[in-house]
Amino acid sequence: MKVLVTGANGQLGRALVATAPASAKITALDSAALDITSAAEVERKVAELSPELIVNAAAYTAVDRAEEDEQRAMAVNAHAVRHLAQAAAKCGARLVQVSSDFVFDGASGRPYRPDDPPSPLGAYGRSKLAGEQAAGADALIVRTAWVYSADGHNFVRTMLRLMAEREELRVVADQVGTPTWASSLARAIWTLVGRDVSGIQHYTDSGVASWYDFAVAIHEEASALGLLRSPVRIVPIATSDYPTPAKRPSYSVLDKSETYRLLGGPAPHWRDALRQMLEDLTNNG
């Protein structure tokens, strides 16, 4: 199977390459090799490669910056998806689009199902929802949340750096979701592709956490592995104590029951996945 992966230098792009099945002949391109915001460039490259599958792991993820630069967020997260969908249709390729829990407003009292009506709070969420719509009915759309890996810019890497520098950290405790290891997400995508799944699916690791819970777990697991040498006091705070340009959903837990059924079982618990990622970081530097 010939596969084009966009966003090759991102944490999900790298995980997709690392976890790809042996049958996949992958061409992984970063933004320097393929500007997905250019319709002409996308059409030319897809026609040249003639992939059977396109996995779009490229995204504009600067949630706060998107409030001032929604045009750029839309260009990458929505218009570019339309270019990829049109090019995929011309060569008969399947498209996988990765979306976000930010398409919801966080007002639900239960985990969000794939068929729940979206209601994004800000520019980033609006751009990801527009990307879902641009992908088309035949695409596989995977909504996920709180993605991290051993490389790239993410919450885990930021916490490890700050915990090595400070004696105290203040972390928001009233935003609840589920951390997701990029490798877990990548494996789930490959499995869903292999089972010819389409439509909107929800995937995160199992369990629920606040950002405060996540930070405490990072400190405990990293300390146990010797990645941190000194104790750090982690103080829970309210969202109102840490104002940001973009409003964030207070509750963005996704209902993964249908996706887990298609995968043949639940994902690992987020804390187990975190521990495995930190062990890999310890062993591989």
Would you please indicate which residues are annotated as catalytic (active-site) residues? Answer: 124
**181 assigned to some structural domain:** yes
Distance between CA atoms of residues 165 and 25, nearest Å: 43
The pLDDT value given to residue 179: 98
**39 assigned to some structural domain:** yes
**Residues ≥6 apart with Cβ < 8 Å to 261:** none
**231 assigned to some structural domain:** no
Q: Is 62 helix (H, G, I), strand (E, B) or coil?
A: coil
**105 assigned to some structural domain:** yes
**276 assigned to some structural domain:** yes
DSSP state of 35: -
Report the domain count for the chain: 1
For position 253, which CATH number holds? 3.40.50.720
Query: 76-90 pLDDT, tens per residue?
Result: 999 999 999 999 999
**267 assigned to some structural domain:** yes
**221 assigned to some structural domain:** no
Q: Is the pLDDT of residue 285 over 80?
A: no
Query: 182-234 pLDDT, tens per residue?
Result: 999 999 999 999 999 999 999 999 999 999 999 999 999 999 999 998 999 99
Query: 19-62 pLDDT, tens per residue?
Result: 999 999 999 999 999 999 999 999 999 999 999 999 999 999 99
The pLDDT value given to residue 218: 98
**226 assigned to some structural domain:** no
Domain carrying residue 109: 2-214+236-284
DSSP 174-217: S-EE--EEHHHHHHHHHHHHHTT--EEEE---BS-EEHHHHHHH
